[in-house]
Amino acid sequence: MKFSYILSALLATVTIAVPLTDPEATTEVATLIPRAVVYEDTPEYKAAIKAHSGLQADHYYWFKYEWPLKTAVGDGDKESQKELQELQKKLGFAHIGVVVGHVTETAKGKGKNAKTHRHFNAMLYHMTKKNVNPGDTEMKSAVWKASSSKKLKWGGSTTKSKAAAAKKVAKDYVAEHKVYAVDGNNCNDFAKAVIKSL
């Protein structure tokens, strides 16, 4: 009898000491925290995003590209010192072109080495005084590369077809405006014509 009494008391103690499990309390959901995206940005993307923070992948944009005062135009430009000084006084900068392109994002690597490569893939169009024949002009185009001495100035959004047509617009302008003039046919007049098409 004593043993039975002791056993009952022991079982009662164990039952009190071990609480019943609460199904809601023990249901745990495994939550995976996504890894932060690591970006690898080219100098061209950095320059473009600095000029306008709202750029999106696969969208097309245009920018003004100004040469600061006292910066050589280069690219075979044959403007005289007098012409350059007159033009720079009028414009407030040494030279101008138009940069047109689109933002690309490309996944690289896997797992912990995964990165998103961001780039602004663009073309630069500008007009110089060629002067092979007195005063003749020339359209210059090149894949645009970011420069620490020249800054992009936000222009606006455009379309793929307009961006593709910009080179023809630039060529047509020079074909129709063959002779350079500080007033009426300079790099800024050229840039305005290209911008109008975008």
What was the pLDDT predicted at 36?
77
Q: What is the pTM of this model?
A: 0.80
Report the Cα 95 to chain-centroid distance in Å: 22
- Asked if 166 and 123 count as a contact pair (C-beta separation under 8 A), the reply is yes
- The domain spans of the chain are 39-197
To the nearest 10°, report the CA torsion of 102, 103, 109, 114.
-170
What was the pLDDT predicted at 175?
97
* Of 5, 194, 1, the residue nearest 100 (C-alpha): 194
**Cross-strand partners of 116:** 39, 107
| 112 secondary structure, DSSP code | G
What was the pLDDT predicted at 160?
98
- Asked if 169 and 197 count as a contact pair (C-beta separation under 8 A), the reply is yes
What was the pLDDT predicted at 158?
98
Which residues of the chain fall short of a pLDDT of 50? none
